Structure 1
Amino acid sequence: MDTRSVIERYYELANKGDWQGWADLFAEDQVMDEQLAGRVEGRQTLRDMVVGFPDVYAQFQNVPRHIVVEGEQATVVSHISARTHKDETIEADVANYFKVVDGQIAYMANFHDTVPFRPVLGG
């Protein structure tokens, strides 16, 4: 898959709640700088993280608003709308940076306000 296809698939799988398929998009030795979780290294670490997502989120949508792709790099501005099983809502604008190598996400960083995620973080 080319970079744009990988990025489009990333959002498609997240919005379907297919978190294991989503994790498959990442390289085995991927590195992610995640706003809430910090540095996450390795695809298996991602798999372990997302196993609990269905228990946290009753609904989760991350809708791209703007995608820029140049070679192996992409930046996406998106909006997350989510609802927990306790009926708490989360609305957050997000910026993601991706580096895609050989059809897999090798590096990703995301940036967003953490306040909307307080219900998930227990704050």
Structure 2
Amino acid sequence: MNTRDVITRYYELANQGDWSSWVDLFAVDQVTDEQLAGHIEGQQTLREMMAGFPDMYASFQNVPRHVVIEGEQAAVVSHISATTHQGETIEADVANYFRVTDGRIAYLANFHDSVPFRAVSPA
């Protein structure tokens, strides 16, 4: 897959809640700098982390609003709408930076307002 295909699939799988296939988009030695979860290295670490994601959210949508792709790099501005199992709603704008190598996400960094996520973040 080229960079555009990977980025398109990233959001499709997230919005389907198919977290196992979503993690498969990442390289085995991937690095993610996630604003809430911190620095994550390795596909298996990411897979273990995402296994608990459905327990946090009853619904989750991450809709791209603006996508810029240049070679192996992409920047996406999107909007997250989510609901926890306790009925709390989350609305947040997000900016993601991706580096895709050999058809896999090698690096991801995301930036968003963390306040809406306080309801689901560990205390």
| Alignment match, 2:115 | 115
Deviations 1:34-68 (A, max 9, x none): 00011000000110011111111000000000000
- Report % sequence identity: 74
The amino acid of 2:98's aligned partner reads: F
**CA–CA distance in 2 between the matches of 1:55 and 1:44?**
19
Shift of 1:19: 0.3
Q: Secondary structure at the match of 1:119?
A: coil
> Which residues of structure 1 form unaligned runs of 5+?
none
Q: How does 1:4-83 map to 2 (within 5 A)?
A: 4-83=4-83
2:106 — aligned with what? Answer: 106
User: Superposition RMSD on alpha carbons, in Å?
Assistant: 0.7
Compute the TM-score of the two structures, normalised by the length of structure 2.
Answer: 0.98
Supply the distance in 1 between the matched residues of 2:14 and 2:119 (Cα, whole angstroms): 20
TM-score, normalization by structure 1: 0.98
Q: Which runs of 5+ in 2 are unaligned?
A: none
